[in-house]
Amino acid sequence: MSLLASSLGKKYIMALSGLVLSLFVLGHMLGNLQVFGDPYLINAYGYKLQHLPYGLLWIIRLFLLACVLAHIWAAITLKIQNKKARPEEYEQKATVQASLASRTMIMSGLIILLFLIFHLLHYTVRAVPGHEYNQAIVTNDGTEYPAEVILIKNGKPMVDSYGKPLQVHNLHDMMVAGFSYPLISLFYVVATYLLCMHLSHGVSSMFQSVGLRNETWRYRLDIIGKIYGWVLFLGYASIPISIWLGVVKATV
């Protein structure tokens, strides 16, 4: 317990929780990029996630929630401790040398938290007014698509264990409908930019938190962090932009 209460313990918690969340963000992006392929891919992906055995999906969700809360707690408490420990003049000098990402970690983190809540309400809970996607999926121009479709692979319908056509949630068209609204697409692009800027600094500083970043590797890790952040941003931003521009369309 004394380690967890110390600054070193909080840095370990922040680094480890950040690692888990960074890997999740990468995996989540790779899963969502399937929207560019055949609708079967993203619909089957969503179906498999929803039907993980023995409540495994909820275990994963609770674990990720615990990582988010631990990361926020460690970040805020470390910020408070650092403010108390550092003289004002020293803090001003350090701010001049710090990058924009490092100076705005707390602020970008809070905005990302708000985005995460909206994202869960939008696509997971489906509680955003006009975007419930329960009976029908409605795009920005008023076109309606079914909320559930038969899962079709290579032109053939998939069947369940009883031999009946497999009905799945129409995740492909739900994503198309959601991002057909320009303001929602813009919000996602801005939020994912902040997320990736946050991660670009976090990936590098994570190694420093656990004492694995020296002067030799500082520059290299900073570059790796920036590349990682930009890859994530381009991957995530490509989805709403492509849908908004009509590159990815709803199924007919």
Pick the CATH number of 2-244 from 1.20.1300, 2.30.110, 1.10.260, 1.10.3470: 1.20.1300
Going residue by residue through the chain (252 aa), what tens digit of pLDDT does each one get? 565 667 878 888 888 898 899 999 999 999 999 999 999 999 999 999 988 887 899 999 999 999 999 998 988 888 888 777 765 544 554 444 345 556 667 777 788 889 999 999 999 999 998 898 988 999 998 899 999 999 998 889 999 888 899 999 999 999 999 999 999 999 999 999 998 888 887 777 776 666 666 666 777 778 888 899 999 999 999 999 999 898 999 986
Q: Report the distance separating Cα 177 and Cα 171, nearest Å.
A: 10
What residues does 167 pair with on adjacent strands?
Answer: 150
d(CA 35, CA 41): 7
Tokens of 145: 């698509």
pLDDT at 70: 93
| Cβ atoms 5, 65 nearer than 8 A | no
Taking alpha carbons only, the member of 50, 63, 85, 59 closest to residue 16 is: 63
In angstroms, how far is CA 57 from the centroid of its own chain? 16
Q: What is the pLDDT of residue 24?
A: 95
Structure tokens at 106: 């707390």
Predicted confidence at residue 204, as pLDDT, reads 73
